[in-house]
Amino acid sequence: MPITVGQDTSKTRKTLEVNGKSFAYYSIPAAEAAGLGEFGKLPAALKVVLENMLRFEDGKTVSVDDIKAFSDWAKNGGKGDRELAYRPARVLMQDFTGVPAVVDLAAMRDGIKALGGDAQKINPLNPVDLVIDHSVMIDEFGNPRAFQMNVDREYERNIERYEFLKWGQGAFNNFRVVPPGTGICHQVNLEYLAQTVWTDTDQNGDEVAYPDTLVGTDSHTTMVNGAAVLGWGVGGIEAEAAMLGQPISMLIPEVVGFELTGKMVEGTTGTDLVLKVVEMLRAKGVVGKFVEFYGDGLDNLPLADRATIANMAPEYGATCGFFPIDAETLRYLEMTGRDKDRIALVEAYAKENGFWRDENYDPVYTDTLSLDMGTIVPAISGPKRPQDYIALDKAASAFGEYIKGIRDGQDASANAEVRWEGEGGAPEPTDIPGDQGHHKRGFVQSGDDTYQLHDGSVVIASITSCTNTSNPYVMIGAGLVARKARELGLNRKPWVKTSLAPGSQVVSAYLEAAGLQEDLDAVGFNLVGYGCTTCIGNSGPLADEISKCINDNDLVATSVLSGNRNFEGRISPDVRANYLASPPLVVAYALAGDMNIDIANDPIAQTADGKDVYLKDIWPTQQEIAELVEKTVTRESFQEKYADVFKGDEKWQAVETTDAETYSWPAASTYVQNPPYFQGMSKDPGTITNIENARVLAVLGDMITTDHISPAGSFKESTPAGQYLREHQVPVREFNSYGSRRGNHEVMMRGTFANIRIKNEMLDGVEGGYTLDPKGEQASIYDAAMAYQEEGTPLVVFGGELYGAGSSRDWAAKGTALLGVKAVIAESFERIHRSNLVGMGVIPFEFTGDDTRETLKLTGKESVSITGLDDVKPGQMTPCTITYEDGSTKDIELKCRIDTAIEREYVEHGGVLHYVLRNLAAA
């Protein structure tokens, strides 16, 4: 389907000749010449948005004043507040978030027919690529059969979902599916889908060149900003609206410039750099802002490292972390097999339209900060947040302090009272480095072996995630660490679950070409699958005896992963402390097996003859890494692996489906169910009404993540979701994960606020998804919410700072809405979750002045009324009355975080999809 551009004002539409072919394009210099403003000092990231306004200017949705506002932004020192209607070129999805999005599209086809409309109106208008990458789980590891066994179990568990996605691929236009076992969506996007400059035919039949842009249903969509492609994560709700032609409403953002100078020193990696960047930008405060990287340090920064930094934008809180087009961009496009004519177009377009970074690049930024890359040292982050940066030589002592904080107040003698259920007397405890009487111990008997576990034992070491497996420098580095360790006769500790899950098949190609996969296999890092695995919580179960030892002895077990997220309860239900590290350090920690060891300075292992081995003994030089990257990471390997990217293997080709226009929802399916959003929907929207006498469902603290609100990982039989599946004859072995069951609202409602580590402050010290029901008794949040719904009582949730941080998880908002929550009141919101709440008709409010849940002394037994909503304006202050248990009241003022006029319409309609559906039905 051709793109529909705005009115052709010959003032800004020009022609570009590249390699004998003509392209129309919308010229920023021409807009300046036409008197629309001065745009030369805009950051490249903002020029992408400006070009979007030029291309879609129609005098209605996008006006000339919208274009002029960019000039005002530059004149005002990088500040502006104009609302824009932005249209990305395409949409990227993964299966955890993509399945519910396709479920919603299928339900909208049913809904539009019920309203008397045409089901074919429900089709993506923009190209959509869905990459199945979140479903593979690490059941098998550390052996040559791990990959095939995990793939077999993946299909066994998820065949209902795959049948549904294959139906969607045939039923919807503009919708492609990348089958399982191909790679992680962001790496496939970076290495293959992204073009940096996109082309399409417009309604006049002309070929138009414009910046490649996208939104994705995963927060790490930002990774592609490393290749100068502007993209960020949105919830599935917002992505569905974008698919259906609805512009994304946004304010002209502030752009923080991050200057990089110098170059990386020997012994450091791109991961070490990004962990420092995350720490600095979190401290700076960039939520809702663009970050653009500039400075002469970019001349020394490979695109793979840029992509690593861009990937972690959600962790530093920014909308995106953008790198402009330069010579390194072209080099990467060439290496990864892009068409030669496309590369020539990228260069010509960037230079012609003011997007090229060279030594004269000097834009205006809202604010700046700077980092000399020569000061970077090896580092990890943890144990709970990506921004908790720790220099490697301080990691062991920091962990000791963490354990001391946990154990203080507990009986120290408990450390010696180790539960032992093996044969004979309990083994003698061994020393724990750095222990000052705070660490607990336990013992595991596995076959003929007995070994000690204690606070800090590393039980998971995983090379995983798009963040680092897309980077050949750190992956080759990990392989070389494994090679040197193998040569010394070292191996992983027997209690460490090791895994290698590359982000694309290209990684396996160059590891095998370098002979490094054999070395990784030798120390336990066998291929387990191509997908997110441990980073998304699909780490799979630990050995029974290890899990039992951890839980019987209340041990703080640890994981080390090369991922981007280490939130509580995310990686494994048996692991309480999680650390982010570079792939080479993941291998090193697998060899050490203990977070208490100072691996920067002390021996990490011993050879068979008792010789100490230090990290420096197995760490490769930058020259060793660079030589292997140059030799094995080739243009040909990318072209070969992506030649049939949509074809899939025999298993995918054998998945059966139908070609029906609407989906025949299988009544017995526990994976895919018709959601209730559009059932019984009227043709006309309602109005926003005041919230009266609402009860409190939860009082939550700071940094409540979308993982807390809607966990992605495994769950137990005793949970409401587990009970639902058991009632539907699903055995525990087949529970799979919350993430895989996002196509079934019944499971996901029961999983909302069900993270095992979430703490509802209405209850004293209780972890998990619990609250007080209408009788004042402790109950699961789901059961209490259903009881309140039966009474017709609205609900509210209170939170602290950065409510909704983390993943762009639409179910965190969907589940909140389906539980009957009408408002979430917090100190501040992360960008994506606030948008998702609005998209589901739930109103976000922020405390004002000095008010917080703590100063108001909220216990959760209050009732809440919020007025002034019948005529609410974006950003309006609204009165709120809190009635305490004793009958006393307090009046406060809340800021309504409905931020734009279109968002108000979404809430009036009950959500953005209801808004789109009614408009399509009426058209």
Q: Say which range, 217-226, 233-242, 684-693, 736-745, has the weakest mean pLDDT.
A: 233-242
Per-residue pLDDT, 660: 92
In the block, residue with structure tokens 């501040």: 828
Nearest to 95 by CA among 156, 147, 153, 163: 163
Q: Are strands 863-866 and 691-699 parallel, antiparallel or unpaired?
A: antiparallel
Condensed to tens digits (0 to 9), the pLDDT of residues 613-667 reads: 999 999 999 999 999 999 999 999 999 999 999 998 899 999 998 889 999 999 8
Matching residue, tokens 């070395």: 519
* Domains and their CATH numbers in the chain: 389-620 (3.30.499.10), 691-710+752-922 (3.20.19.10)
- Two tokens, residue 500: 């290698």
Name beta bridge partners: 883: 863, 889
Nearest residue to 535 via CA among 574, 564, 508, 496: 564
The DSSP annotation for 284-313 comes to H--TT-EEEEESGGGGG--HHHHHHHHHTH
DSSP per-residue string spanning 368-418: EEEEEGGG---EEE-SS-TT-EEEGGGHHHHHHHHHHHHHTTS-GGGGT--
Which percentage of the chain shows pLDDT scores above 90? 78
Using the 8-state DSSP alphabet, how is residue 191 labeled? I
* Six-digit token string for 231: 């993209």
- Given a contact cutoff of 8 angstroms between Cβ atoms, the answer to whether 456 and 435 are in contact is no
8 Å CB contact between 255 and 48: no
Q: Which residue has the tokens 């018709």?
A: 674
pLDDT score of 412? 47
User: Residue 606 pLDDT more than 90?
Assistant: yes
13: left (phi over 0), alpha (psi -120 to 50) or beta: beta
Helix (H) or strand (E) holding 699: strand 691-699
In whole angstroms, give the CA distance from residue 269 to residue 295.
19
Query: Lowest mean pLDDT: which of 70-74, 349-353, 434-438, 707-711?
Result: 434-438
pLDDT number for residue 671: 92
CB 847 within 8 A of CB 826: yes
> Which H or E run contains 559?
strand 558-561
Q: What is the pTM of this model?
A: 0.86
Secondary structure of residue 553 in the 3-state scheme: coil
pLDDT of residue 731: 93
CA angle, residues 62, 63, 68, in degrees to nearest 5 = 115
Instruction: Output the pLDDT for position 112.
Output: 92
For 173-200, the pLDDT digits (tens) are: 999 999 999 999 999 999 999 999 999 9
Residue 143 predicted with pLDDT over 90: yes
Q: Mean of the pLDDT values across residues 355-363?
A: 96
b/e burial code for range 456-468 (CB count within 10 A of at least 16 → b) = bbbbbbbbbbbbb
Question: Which pLDDT band holds residue 10 (cuts at 50, 70, 90)?
Answer: low
Mean pLDDT of 725-746: 91
Element at 772 (helix H, strand E):
strand 770-772
- The number of residues making up the chain comes to 923
For 861-871, what is the mean pLDDT?
95
How many contiguous H segments (helices) and E segments (strands) does the chain have? 31, 34
Report d(CA 908, CA 843) in Å as an integer.
11
Model confidence band, residue 414 (pLDDT cutoffs 50, 70, 90): very low
Helices (H), 696-741: 706-709, 720-727
What dihedral angle (degrees, nearest 10) is formed by the CA atoms of 21, 27, 29, 33? 110
Q: What are phi and psi of 108, to 5 degrees?
A: -65, -35
How is residue 635 written in tokens? 């243009």
CA proximity to 230, closest of 43, 49, 27, 25? 49
| End-to-end CA, the chain | 19
Higher-confidence residue of 714 and 222: namely 222
Section 277-298 average pLDDT = 96
* Beta partners for residue 865, in sequence order: 881
Whether residue 2 is predicted with pLDDT greater than 70 in this model: the reply is no
Identify the band that residue 418 occupies on the pLDDT scale cut at 50, 70 and 90.
low
Mean of the per-residue pLDDT values of the chain = 93
**Gap between the Cα atoms of 224 and 228, Å rounded:** 7
Query: Does residue 879 have a cis peptide bond before it, meaning omega lies within 30 degrees of 0?
Result: no
pLDDT higher than threshold 90 for residue 762: yes
Query: 3-state DSSP helix/strand/coil percent for the chain, to nearest 5?
Result: 35, 20, 45
Phi and psi for 304 in degrees, rounded to 5?
Answer: -60, -40
Res. 413: pLDDT tops 70:
no
Q: Are 575 and 459 in contact (CB under 8 A)?
A: yes
Cα 172 vs. chain centroid, distance in angstroms?
26
Under 8 Å between Cβ of 751 and 715: yes
In this model, does residue 8 exceed pLDDT 70? no
Query: Mean pLDDT: which of 238-252, 561-575, 748-762 is highest?
Result: 748-762
CA distances to 101, 148, 172, 475, 665 from 106, rounded to whole Å, are 9, 32, 9, 40, 9
CB-hemisphere CA count at 13 Å for 675? Answer: 28
Q: Rounded CA gap, 220 and 222, in Å? A: 5
Mean pLDDT throughout 206-230?
95
Alpha-carbon gap, residue 670 to 808, rounded angstroms: 24
Nearest to 823, CA basis, from 807, 841, 850:
841
pLDDT of residue 170: 93
pLDDT band at 531 (very low <50, low <70, confident <90, very high): confident
Q: What is d(CA 871, CA 688) in angstroms, rounded to the nearest whole number?
A: 8
Nearest alpha carbon to residue 579 among 553, 561, 557, 604: 561
CB atoms within 10 A of CB 145: 10
Residues 502-528 have pLDDT tens digits of: 999 999 999 999 999 999 999 999 999
Average pLDDT over residues 86-113: 92
Of 450-459, 705-714, 847-856, least confident by mean pLDDT is 705-714
Using CA atoms, how far apart are residues 503 and 183, in angstroms rounded to an integer? 5
One-character DSSP codes across 136-180: ---SS-SSTTHHHHHHHHHHHHHHHHHHHHHHHHHHSTTEEEEPT
Positive/negative CA dihedral, 276, 280, 282, 286? negative
